[in-house]
Chain A
Amino acid sequence: MDCKTAEEKLALHLYDELTPAERAELDAHLAACTGCADAAAELNRLRTVLDQRPRPEPSPDLLVRCRFQLEEALDRETSGWRALVHGGFGLWPQGSALRVTAALAVLVVGFSLGWTLRQQTSLPGVAGPAPPAWGSADLSNARISGISRVAPNPQTGAVRITLDAERQFTLEGSLEDPHIQEVLLYAVKSYDNPGIRRDTLEVLRSRGSDPVVRDTLLYALHNDPNDGVRLEVLQALHELAWTPQIRQAVLASLERDTNPGVRVAAINILAQHADEEVLPRLEQLAVEDRNPYVRLKCANAVREKARQEF
């Protein structure tokens, strides 16, 4: 056995994945080769370090919350977003061909003109060879089960929406396209997967000046259950022209959001627009907020404003 082969086998040795014959051969090499023996010792130490990583056990409380959240999501399966793209999402009992056909008819009508529909053979996020164009009629054989990706196409400026079916489909169209906009706005408001909601928000950020998009952002800021999504919304709002409506929304986020990270993000924005309406609120929360770091950030923002005015 040479050193290159030995190096490749060390991890398998460490994790007891070698056959007895392979193990004996590697042990013989390690006994004769100081370099490889050192590498094996280093891997052992690596394992010890990695073992120090905490291994979180699901608490009964977390499990209960997970079950509750799942039950709510299952309840929503027959309404909301699925009624848009539509009804086609969800568990279709075998034989309910009428429902499937009706759902796909909506899809085909909604996604036909002006859209490039392609079969995506690779995994989402992995660019594959140029896929063949698909006609909308091909959707009639598809069973759409969800959205796996929303992303801008940097080459064309369009947006790509990857749908999960027995085969994946990528729908591509301009952000100006009202069908695309409709799907994206519903994805932000109603889709279950927070990662998809954040990806959708990233795409919509470039159209934040559109009143409908702005209203959707404000809706998500107040209603989205995911902290990361609300943070994304705050960042998107930060890029827009500062209006009384946005100020009220960010102030409300500072005062009501349950996550201190989101409240801190709101402070960072408000500190740059600390006017006579914002300042008293910051002063109040510098005393009253339940999180010490949020109180500190509010106090810092007030102090910085006073320093600027001085």
Chain B
Amino acid sequence: MPEASPQPDTVDERVLIRQAQRGDRAAFERLVRLYESNVLRLALQLARSEDEARDLYQEAFLKIYRSLHRFRFEARFSTWVYRVVMNVFLDHLRRASRRREMQAPVNEEGGPEFFQTVADERPGLNPERSLRGKEIARRLEAALGRLSPRERLVFELKHYHGLKLRAIGDMCGTSEENAKNSLFRATQKLRAELRELI
């Protein structure tokens, strides 16, 4: 994720961007390498499966590829990249909130969590602890899933990635004040949702 204090794009990066804008795939792929770990890490937190995270990664970098010609070096490249990525993630969260229940069949035997439990039937695991951990994880995911897409994104970037609200505002194309408001609403909702756990 970007640093709190912006650094200008390096000369190498500017060269790569210009080459990629001229259609150089190798240059574009080198640019991808600079950002892919952070993008995939956040995608894994927002998605419900590795497959979904992989799709988000692809969608984000394809969008960057398709709109790279519009980058005019007026902003930091990393800010521009993350703004595109955050828009993709926001769209994903909006769609997910519309069809939260459609991702896997929910059935009388326990729904999607069942498939996750199968892999954990290994010797050496403490079943009670594992069960409790799973229950906490399930409730955390449910509570996070009930945040609005923007609240969710701001909260993830703040709590789990430790970014400053000003940087989050830049990445999400909004003001620091709006990011503050989203963080406030997110923590209020999570407090209410998770009261029994705290």
Using a CB–CB cutoff of 8 Å, the interface residues on chain A facing chain B are 8, 10-12, 14-15, 17, 42-43, 45-50, 52-58, 62-63, 65-67, 69-71, 73-74, 77, 89-94, 123-125, 143, 145-146, 148-149, 166, 192-195, 198-199, 226-228, 231-232, 235, 260-261, 264-265, 268, 291-293, 296
Contacts and interface: CB of A to CB of B under 8 A. Distances in A.
A194 B51 CA distance: 11
A145 B67 contact: yes
Interface of B: 21-23, 25, 28-29, 32, 36-37, 40-41, 44-45, 49-55, 57-59, 61-63, 65-70, 90-92, 94-95, 98-99, 102-105, 107, 109, 112, 114-115, 118, 133, 136-137, 140-141, 158-160, 164-165, 180, 183-184, 187-188, 190-191, 194, 197-198
B180 A192 contact: no
A240 to B, nearest CB: 18
A93 B198 contact: no
B58 A12 contact: no
A230 B195 CA distance: 37
Contacts of B61: 70
- Report whether over half of chain A's contact residues are helix, strand or loop; otherwise say mixed: helix
A210 B191 CA distance: 49
A54 B137 contact: yes
A74 B57 contact: no
Contacts of B22: 93
A93 B69 contact: yes
Given A46-B187, A260-B115, 17 more contacts: A12-B183, A17-B165, A48-B198, A49-B198, A55-B160, A62-B54, A66-B58, A70-B57, A70-B62, A91-B66, A94-B21, A146-B66, A148-B91, A193-B59, A198-B99, A226-B51, A268-B105
A12 B190 CA distance: 15
A42 B115 contact: no
A48 B190 CA distance: 13
Contacts of A52: 133, 136-137, 140
A14 to B, nearest CB: 8
A292 B114 CA distance: 11
Contacts of A232: 102
B37 A194 contact: no
A42 B45 contact: no
B53 to A, nearest CB: 8
